Amino acid sequence: MLTETKFSLRQFNTDDLESVIEINKTCLPENYASFFFMDTYRSCPAAFIVAEIGSRIVGYIMCRIEHGFSDIKRLRFIRKGHIISVAVLADYRRTGIASELVKKALEALREMKVDECYLEVRTTNETARKLYEKLGFFLARSVPHYYADGAEALLMVIPLHNGNDVSSHDVEKETMQ
């Protein structure tokens, strides 16, 4: 039972690797090799963030920057943030940690002049989907057979700069054309 809810966020460092891998294995069906975590950290350290309660790491978020076509404005090549993984240990969920991790990562990506950010979420993960919607993400499209087990993902996106502001209605309209 969670008795202490005060948490802090900080940038990941290499000493955190073992804890982050354990959280990933405990919380998510998609597990990554240690070199993947380190490669992601090296490529985008400001958006690899851990949450701590006391000296215990209880959650993390890791992101990278990609270049590709916008999921908001069609046929526009941009800098995109990709939230690869977010996880919080079960005993520490519903305390605001995941929300604050995402906000902090989006802030870091904005500072790196990223135009928009996207993530994939399982269609069955209603809790995460609602959290992302609350933070301003909206559905861009579904991705059939995205996960190793064949499950479908929803690709959700959020604009990060004023020149990219658009409503979810506009994305749905463009997607259907």
**97-111 vs 126-134: helix crossing angle, rounded to 10:** 50
70-79 residue pLDDT tens: 999 888 999 9
Virtual torsion, Cα 11, 13, 16, 21, nearest 10 deg: 80
Banded model confidence at residue 177, pLDDT cuts 50, 70, 90: very low
Work out the angle at residue 174's Cα, subtended by the Cα atoms of residues 170 and 177, and round it to the nearest 5 degrees: 145
Structure tokens at 23: 């959280």
**Measuring CA to CA, how many Å separate 142 from each of 20, 87, 95, 117, 155?**
28, 21, 29, 16, 6
Are 103 and 61 a contacting pair, CB within 8 Å?
no
Q: Mean per-residue pLDDT for 141-159?
A: 96
β-bridge pairing 138-143 and 153-159? antiparallel
Domain boundaries, the chain: 8-176
Structure tokens at 75: 């046929």
89-130 residue pLDDT tens: 999 999 999 999 999 999 999 999 999 999 999 999 999 999
Is 8-176 a CATH 3.90.650.10 domain? no
Q: Mean per-residue pLDDT for 54-70?
A: 96
Structure tokens at 170: 């506009």
Q: Is 168 exposed, middle or buried (0-12, 13-18, 19+ CB in 10 A)?
A: middle
Is the predicted pLDDT of residue 54 greater than 90, yes or no?
yes
Work out the angle at residue 30's Cα, subtended by the Cα atoms of residues 138 and 52, and round it to the nearest 5 degrees: 80
CA distance 163 to 102: 21
